Amino acid sequence: MSVEIQGQVAPGFDAVADAFRENFALRGEVGASVCAYLDGERVVDIWAGRADAKTGRAWEADTLSIVFSATKGLAATCLLMLADRGLLDYDRPVADYWPEFANSGKRGITVRELLNHRAGLCAIDQPLRVRELGDRLRASSACENQRPIWPPGTEQGYMAVSFGVFVAELFQRVAGCSIGRFLADEVAKPLAADVYIGLPEAHHERVATLLQVRMRTLLGVIPQIVTGRTTEGRIGRAALNRESPMRRAFGNPSIGRGGLGNFNQRDIWEMELPFANGIASARGLATVYAALANGGSHAGTRLCSPETLEPIYKRQSWAYDRVLHKPLGFSQGFVKEESHLFSPNEESFGHPGMGGALGWADPTRKLAFGYVMNQMDHRLRSPRTLALSHAIYASL
């Protein structure tokens, strides 16, 4: 696919534009944008392609896209700010802030264990639908009644969906407001960053139309499922077992008929689902992470202190994850990845989203970047995302 790239790259960052162009020509990109900051200065800000493949609507500088689990990084940022203000202690039990959480064997689980996916709560067993998560009482009750799958603190299992359900209620209990409201007022507005958990109607027309992975592409994973030699193959094999942590983690709440296509529905955009329905531009994600890459401040806005950020630089949890079937870790809700993927530096952190979206910070290089797109990739770590990440580091 031949496209005209819009925007700018600073001298020395031409490799990023080249990788971006190759994503369209060789890797199936349809519409996307990528933005990067170095030492607080924007060095990459480019976009291209179509925001809607059917209508031909062009991707613009401020086009927004669903970022799926990259939403968790925005949620973790909001929690980090509560900790910086002395309202949240990661090493206190969750039940200190949310007494009913202690039900069903969860009394001793700390905030840190919950956010680092070590609480044994990767699944919610009470049947729910995504749209029912707007009923706070129903959602919190499901969390309170959930029993850990394994002894808390002993193993790591990615809370693909349950993270947002638990975090939404914990945040409300601590802050007295919803996490989406806090993100809008305390992060997005002061940073002038296009990031949302709960999208206002005024921005609906800017959202790109999500394109799901084609069935023929998914069928091509079958040989990998048989051999189990790739991460995608191991995940696919686990999905066939109803009792596997992977199947349970992703299977409830139910998205409903239409699958991921439901994330093109405007009522879903307006909900606050801190695990999946964050909506952002690449520039917006990169701007938030620019603050996290520079000691907690960017362009005169302070999110938190350097001292509050510093513990995230270390891997607080690192394991072969029981849900994602690969080695990775977490620090206070942020992903810590293998060094050959998004960043060669262990201190870096952020969160990817299903399909390819990414927000990332590297405090050792004072580097931050964001990438959003509308054509989803079936692999856990999209080659398009990795090509851009590697090109950014090659340009330093």
* Half-sphere exposure of residue 125: CA atoms within 13 angstroms, side-chain side: 12
Q: Give the distance, in angstroms, between the CA of residue 77 and the centroid of all CA atoms in the same chain.
A: 11
The tens digit of pLDDT for each residue in 267-283 reads 999 999 999 999 999 99
Residue 216 pLDDT exceeds 90? no
Q: 13 near 35, Cβ under 8 Å?
A: no
CB atoms near residue 104 (< 10 Å): 12
Amino acid at 247: R
H/E stretch holding 145 reads helix 136-145
**Residue 208 DSSP code:** P
The tens digit of pLDDT for each residue in 7-39 reads 999 999 999 999 999 999 999 999 999 999 999
Give the mean model confidence (pLDDT) for residues 253-279: 91
Give the mean model confidence (pLDDT) for residues 304-327: 98
Q: Give Dmax over CA atoms of the chain in angstroms.
A: 57
The tens digit of pLDDT for each residue in 141-150 reads 999 999 999 9
Give the mean model confidence (pLDDT) for residues 36-60: 97
The tens digit of pLDDT for each residue in 67-79 reads 999 999 999 999 9
Percent of the chain past pLDDT 90, that is, above it, reads 89
- What is the value of pTM for the model shown? 0.97
The tens digit of pLDDT for each residue in 350-368 reads 999 999 999 999 999 999 9
> If you write DSSP's letter for every residue of 55-109 in order, what string do you get?
T-PBP-TT-BEE-BTHHHHHHHHHHHHHHHTTS--TTSBGGGT-GGGGTTTTTT-
Residue 207 pLDDT exceeds 90? yes
Q: Which two tokens stand for residue 391?
A: 């090109």
User: Residues 109, 114, 118, CA angle at the centre, nearest 5°?
Assistant: 90
Give the mean model confidence (pLDDT) for residues 151-174: 97
Q: What is the pLDDT of residue 219?
A: 66
Question: Confidence band (pLDDT; 50, 70, 90) for 1?
Answer: low
Residue 194 pLDDT exceeds 70? yes
Give the mean model confidence (pLDDT) for residues 317-333: 97
Residue 4 pLDDT exceeds 70? yes
CA 52 to each of CA 247, 276, 282, 297: distance values in angstroms, whole numbers, following the listed order: 31, 20, 17, 35
Residue 289 pLDDT exceeds 80? yes
Strands (E) located in 210-309: 278-280, 297-298, 301-302
Query: Which CATH number is 6-213+257-394's, of 3.30.450.30, 3.20.20.70, 3.40.50.1820, 3.40.710.10?
Result: 3.40.710.10
Q: Which residues of 36-66 are buried (b: 16+ CB within 10 A; e: fewer)?
A: bbbeeebbbbbbbbbbbeeeeebbeeebbbb
Listed by start position, the domains of the chain span 6-213+257-394, 215-250
The overall average pLDDT reported for the chain is 95
Q: 118 near 90, Cβ under 8 Å?
A: no
What residues pair up with 342 in beta bridges, in sequence order? none
Q: What are phi and psi of 230, to 5 degrees?
A: -120, 160
Q: 269 near 279, Cβ under 8 Å?
A: yes
